[in-house]
Structure 1
Amino acid sequence: MARRRLLLLLKPFDVYPTCPSDGVTNPKTSFLLKTLQVLSYLDNRRSVHKDAINFCQNVLRKKLVDCIPVFRSNLSQPIRGVDLVITVGGDGTLLQASHLMDDSIPVLGVNSDPTQVKEVEEFIDKFDATRSTGYLCAATVKNFEHKLDEILQGRTVPSEVSRMSICVNSELLSTYALNDVLVAHPCPATVSRFSFRIKKDCVSRSPLVNCRSSGLRVSTAAGSTAAMLSAGGFSMPILSKDLQYIVREPISPRADISNLMHGIVQSEETMESTWYCQEGLIYIDGSHIVHSIQHGDMVELSSKAPILKVFLPRHLQS
C-alpha cells in the first residue's frame, strides 16, 4: 500500500477560556461558584480536546502516512497535495476546511469533544453544558482508528455532499457554502429590503417576491439541520442537491405570496435576489466569512458548485 499524505487540521486551544491561575479558592457567593463551575467545565473541554489531538496523532504515527498537523487559525491557502484531510474539533473545523477544498480531496471529521448527556442533565439548572455536535463528523476517539483503517484500505468511500455557489453581480465568490448563507443588514434591528425570484435557464419559475424582513437564509441539505431547522425549516436528506430558503420574520407579506416565504430551490434552479438597502452582508457558513453588498446588487444562489467529498457518519448514509 502506497504511503499517503494527510493534512491534520486542528481546532485551536485558545477558543476555550482557562481558569485563572490564582483562582478564587473560597467563593462566597453563588455567582462566583457558578463562574468557577463554568470555567472548570471549559477547562475540561480544552483538556478533552487536547487529549483527542494527541490520541489521533499517536494513531497516525502507526500508519503508513505522512501527516502534516496545522491549527485551523494558521491555514488560509487552498488545500493541495494531500490525499486526505482529517479535521479534529467539530463541525466548525470541518466547515473551515471545506472553504479551502475543491472536489478532489476527501475529508474525515473527528468530533474531539462530543456532548455528554449526563453532564448536560447535571448542570441543566446552572448553565448550558452542551459540547460539540459533530453532525458531519464520522469519527470520535472511540472509532477513529477503525474509521481510518477503513479509509486507508479502501473499504469505504466518501459521500458527495452538495455545496452552494454565490454570485454577486454575476461574479462568482471564491468561497462555496457547505451549510448556509444569510443575506441581511449589518444591524439586526434594521429592516432588510430585497426581492427575489427563482429561475431555471433564465426563465422565471416563481413571481417576483418583494420582502421587508430580517433577512434571507438559504441552506444546503447539510445545513438544513442547523439554523434553518431552528428558524422553522425542515431537515433534508443529506445527499439532496436542492437548496432550502426562508425569509426571516417577514413583515406583512401579501396573501398571494405568503406561501413563498419558505421553499425549495431545486438543483437545476437559481435564486436571484436584488438588495435594496444602502448596505448589507452575505454571511457564509456563520460569521467568519462575510461579503459586503450595497443597494442594487444582485445575489445569485444555486447548488451549481463543486461537491465536497465527506466521510459521513453511518446513520447519515442510509
Structure 2
Amino acid sequence: MSRRRLLLLLKPFNVYPSRYKDELSRPINPQILGYLENRCKVHKDAINICQDILQRKSVDWKPILRNDLVQPIHNVDLVVTVGGDGTLLQASHFMDDSIPVLGVNSDPTQVEEVEEFSDEFDARRSTGYLCAATVKNFEQVLDEILGGHKTPAKLSRISVCVNSHLLPTYALNDILIAHPCPAAVSRFSFRIKRDDQECTPLVNCRSSGLRVSSAAGSTAAMLSAGGFPMPVASQKLQYMVREPILPKAITSNLMHGLIGSEQSMHTVWYNKEGVIYIDGSHIFHSIRHGDNIEISSKAPVLKAFLPPHLSS
C-alpha cells in the first residue's frame, strides 16, 4: 500500500519585534509587546510540534509557506494548514473538491488572558472556527483521519460570473461587491432567479455595497453586520445590502435574505468602477459600469474536517 501524501501549509511567523520598538515614534506598552512576541513564539512552536508529529508517521509530507502557494494543489491525499481560519481560507482557493483539508489552530484564544488584559487591549488570539485541531490533539485527529475514522464535511462555496465569465477563485467565506473607495456610494440592482425565472422583483440599491456569504462564512463578517448564523452544511447563501440609503418600503424586506441552492443572484453594477472582493482583501476582481454579475452556490464543495461542535 502506498504511503499517504500530505501538504503542510504554514502561516508565516512574523517576529514582531522587539528590535523594531526603538524605531517607533511612540513607546509600546510592555504588556502589548510581550503579548505580540508570545503569539509569534506560540505559532512557531506549533509548527515545530506538527512537523515533529509528521516525522513519526508513515506519510510523505512537504511543508510550504502559505505566501509561496501559487499553483493549484494536486497529487496529495490531505492538506494540513497550521495557522487559523485565514490559512485554511487561503488553502481553499487552490483546492478543488477531490482533496480534504484539516485546519490546525496554532494560537487559540486564552480566556484568562483576555480577562487579564481586558482593560488594556483586546487579547483574543486566533478564532479557528473551521479548524478541527490544535497542537494538543493534532496527532489524535490525524491518526483518526489516516485510519479512515473521520469523514470530511462538504462545505458550499460561492461561484461568481462576470459577464458570463467564471472567476477562477471560489469564495469559502464571502464576497463583497463595493466601490474601491469605502466612503463612496455603490449603485447596483439585483434580483434572484431560478432557471431564468424571476423569484424576486428587481431591487435598485444605493448603499455601501453588497455582501454574500456561504453557510461557513455566515458567522464571520455577515454576522457582525447583523446577519444570522446558518447550519454549516447548508447549501444556501445569505446576502445583505450594506447600509442601504432610503430603501423603498416595498423592497426594504429584500435587503437581507437567502439565495437557495438552485437559485442565483443577478446583479448589474452602475458605478464607473467597482471591486469584487473574495474572502477578504487579498483576492479581488475589478468591475465597471454595466457589468452583469451572477452569484450562486453552484461551485465545487470544499471537503474539510471540522471540529466536533460543527460536524455533529
The TM-score normalised by the length of structure 2 is 0.97
RMSD over aligned Cα, in angstroms? Answer: 1.3
Q: Please identify runs of 4+ aligned residues in structure 1 that moved more than 3 A.
A: 21-24
Say which SS state the counterpart of residue 309 (structure 1) adopts.
Answer: strand
Partner Cα distance (1:218, 1:74) in 2: 28
Structure 2: tracts of 5 or more residues without a match: none
Letter in 1 for 2:58: L
Partner Cα distance (1:111, 1:267) in 2: 30
* 1:174-213 correspondence runs (5 A): 174-213=168-207
1:18: which partner in 2?
Answer: 17
Partner Cα distance (2:288, 2:188) in 1: 11
Q: Does 1:63 align with 2:68?
A: no
Displacement of 1:127: 1.1
Partner Cα distance (2:250, 2:4) in 1: 57
Displacement of 1:293: 0.2
Q: Deviations over 1:11-34 (max 9, x none)?
A: 0113x522127869xxxxxx7352
Letter in 1 for 2:104: V
Say which SS state the counterpart of residue 13 (structure 1) adopts.
Answer: coil
* 1:1-318 correspondence runs (5 A): 2-14=2-14, 17-20=16-19, 32=27, 34=29, 36-318=30-312
1:28: which partner in 2?
Answer: none
Partner Cα distance (2:42, 2:17) in 1: 13
Percentage identity across paired residues of the two chains? 69
Partner Cα distance (1:176, 1:189) in 2: 27
Displacement of 1:215: 0.2
Rate the CA distance shift 1:206–1:154 in 2: closer, same or farther, 3 A: same
Partner Cα distance (1:240, 1:66) in 2: 34
Q: Deviations over 1:265-295 (max 9, x none)?
A: 0000000100000000000000010100000
Say which SS state the counterpart of residue 218 (structure 1) adopts.
Answer: strand
Displacement of 1:145: 0.3
Displacement of 1:39: 2.0
Partner Cα distance (2:47, 2:193) in 1: 46
Displacement of 1:56: 0.3
Partner Cα distance (2:33, 2:186) in 1: 38
Q: Deviations over 1:224-253 (max 9, x none)?
A: 000000000000000000000000000000
State whether residues 21 and 28 of structure 2, in contact with CA within 8 Å, keep that contact through their aligned partners in structure 1.
Answer: no
Equivalenced residues, count: 310
Partner Cα distance (1:294, 1:257) in 2: 25
Partner Cα distance (1:211, 1:217) in 2: 13
1:27: which partner in 2?
Answer: none
Partner Cα distance (1:278, 1:256) in 2: 27
Partner Cα distance (1:292, 1:22) in 2: 38
Letter in 2 for 1:2: S
State whether residues 132 and 308 of structure 2, in contact with CA within 8 Å, keep that contact through their aligned partners in structure 1.
Answer: yes
Partner Cα distance (1:8, 1:23) in 2: 36
The TM-score normalised by the length of structure 1 is 0.95
State whether residues 105 and 126 of structure 2, in contact with CA within 8 Å, keep that contact through their aligned partners in structure 1.
Answer: yes
State whether residues 21 and 27 of structure 2, in contact with CA within 8 Å, keep that contact through their aligned partners in structure 1.
Answer: no
Structure 1: tracts of 5 or more residues without a match: 25-30
Partner Cα distance (1:149, 1:69) in 2: 19
Q: Deviations over 1:122-167 (max 9, x none)?
A: 1111111110000000000111000000000001110111101010
Letter in 2 for 1:7: L
State whether residues 190 and 204 of structure 2, in contact with CA within 8 Å, keep that contact through their aligned partners in structure 1.
Answer: yes
